[in-house]
Amino acid sequence: MKIISGSSNLEFAYNLSRLLHIENIFVNTQQFEDGELRVQIVDDLNTPTVCIVQSISNPANDHLIELLLITDAVRRCGVKNIIAAIPYFGYARQDRKTYDYGPISASIIAKMIELSGINQVITIDLHSPQIEGFFHIPLHHFNTIDIFTSIIQSYSDVIIVSPDAGGILRASKISNKLNVDLAIVNKTRKSHNYSTADFISGYVEGKHCFIIDDIIDTGGTICNAADLLIRNGAKSVTAFVTHAILSAKSKELINNSKIDQIYITNTIKHQNLSSKFTILPIEEQFSKYCKQKIIL
Ligand code: R5P
């Protein structure tokens, strides 16, 4: 088996190959003047199994197309078993029709991945588990619950907070594991990039609140939730988020928010974040999961 790194997160792919003791092969990705991508695998691929590591992160469309083009190149080298390790699965939020005449984007992305020749997908903290149903190939889904729980368990007076109804399952797994209460923020999404935190179900006064979410994009969801929690008497607010997209002015918003500390993982590469951010490298746990799940 060999690992091929797409350009989204070279460090993650390199660390994965080191931990799995598998050779890491680079791809030369270039761009035509009109934005089209051109990829070329720079080494020999005389192997039955290849694992392509690529997050569908910003620029999501380029990274997705790069993944599909690399897969096609690998398939044309005669590789039969092609695994996509997708640390951040972009488009997963669009897993249903929330407005008239819209697509189910995650479903069409799943079709594209399958049609390209990928035989197995292994990903991290998928937005909703039912996305697996869009695939007809094995999809394995590593979650960050144990990683987050191991940090939160050293605190007392804790309450776990889901910042919206969609995150209840994820947050409740942590509150159940720690045997602490769960609060839920009622979020209204007014447009695709704008939401409000309206009220809280649960009693947060005097508590250290730990918000659990899968994605930070604009930062609106967790910053609004933090504001509401503090207004309701919370002692402190810490956030744990797996995929830090951190678009536009989100870093500034978080730095100026009521959030004391935010823990993110390295499924998406970031540098030079403020001291509010702690990046949790997760290649080690993910590599162990890959060893268990990948079918050779
Ligand atoms: C939504 O369902 C997700 O779980 C996140 O809460 C959302 O994507 C965060 O987006 P933003 O940071 O733009 O509020």
Any idea what the Cα angle at residue 241 is, between residues 238 and 245, rounded to 5°? 125
pLDDT digits (tens, 9 = 90+) for 16-75: 999 999 999 989 999 999 999 999 998 888 899 999 999 999 999 999 999 999 999 999
Work out whether the CA dihedral 166, 214, 66, 272 comes out positive or negative: positive
Does 216 contact ligand 1 (Cβ within 6 A)? yes
Work out which ligand 1 atom sits closest to the CA atom of 167. Answer: 4
Residue of 70, 12, 23 lying closest to 47 (CA atoms) = 23
261 DSSP β-pair partners: 238
- Of the residues 2, 173, 187, 251, only one is catalytic, namely 187
Does 213 contact ligand 1 (Cβ within 6 A)? yes
Predicted structure pTM score = 0.96
Catalytic residue check, 111:
no
Q: Which two tokens stand for residue 171?
A: 């947050």
Amino acid sitting at position 4: I
Amino acid sitting at position 252: E
pLDDT at 296 over 80: no
Give me the phi and psi of 279, to 5 degrees please. Answer: -95, 125
84 DSSP β-pair partners: 52, 121
DSSP single-letter state for residue 110: H
Cα 90 to ligand 1 centroid, rounded to whole Å: 12
Work out which ligand 1 atom sits closest to the CA atom of 164. Answer: 6
**What is the Cα–Cα distance from 277 to 248, expressed in whole angstroms?**
17
> What is the pLDDT averaged over residues 236-247?
98
Residue of 247, 238, 244 lying closest to 276 (CA atoms) = 238
